[in-house]
Structures are given as C-alpha cells and as structure tokens.
Amino acid sequence: MKRTLSAVEYSGEEEGMASIAKAISHPVRIRILKLLASQQCCFTGELTEIIPMAQSTISQHLKALLDSGLIQGEINPPKVRYCIHRENWRKAYSMFGGFFNADLACRYDCH
C-alpha cells in the first residue's frame, strides 16, 4: 500500500473507538463476547465446543479480543479462564454511548 505521505493524525478518541469497533467487527467475536458476558462459559474449551470452528481460530479471535482490552484471561493450568474486562467494558459503553448520542446526530436536517 502506498501509505499516506501526509500522514493523517487521529485523536486518541478516534483511534480508541476504531480499535474497539474493529475488535467487534466480526460476528464470531460478538458471539464470544455475548457468551462471556452472560457467563454461559469461560474456558476456551467450552467456547470451542459451542462454536463450530477450529480451536486455533477461536484462540486467534480470543487474542484479538484480549488485545482490544475488552476481555481478560486468567491462567488456570492447563486451562485459561476468560471473562469480560469490566472496567474497559464500561469505558466502551460510555464511548459508544457518547458517540451515538442521538442529540448529537444531525441536529439540523440536511434534506
């Protein structure tokens, strides 16, 4: 890719929102988050039983969610227990809430 020469500078909020959005931009990651949030399961193994995908693929998606900060993992040998990262979850909640705040959007009508 011919990467921008004049490098657009983004704000922390823009980068942060985009990063979280990217993490939840795949339906299987939405499902994983919903499963974790509803406490239907926690160990990787339980996820691989429920979701018909290769173990390595699930693991890859878990890594993406970990990197986003939306979940956290606790090593519990030889298993790993995952769950929602509550603080970051709340942050995401208020970030998206603020962004999509209805009052902000289209104060005036273009049409």
Partner DNA sequence: TTTATTAATCGTACATTTGCGATGAACTAT
Partner DNA sequence: ATAGTTCATCGCAAATGTACGATTAATAAA
Kindly state the tokens that stand for 12.
């922390």
| 57 phi-psi bin (left φ>0, alpha ψ -120 to 50, beta other) | alpha
Q: What is the largest CA-CA distance in the chain?
A: 60
Minimal distance, residue 78 CB to DNA, in Å: 4
Q: How far is the CB of 2 from DNA (least distance, A)?
A: 4
- Residues within the interface to a second copy (CB under 8 A): 4, 6, 8, 10, 13-15, 17-18, 21-22, 24-31, 33-34, 36-39, 42, 51-53, 74, 81-84, 86, 89-90, 92-93, 96-97, 99-102, 104-111
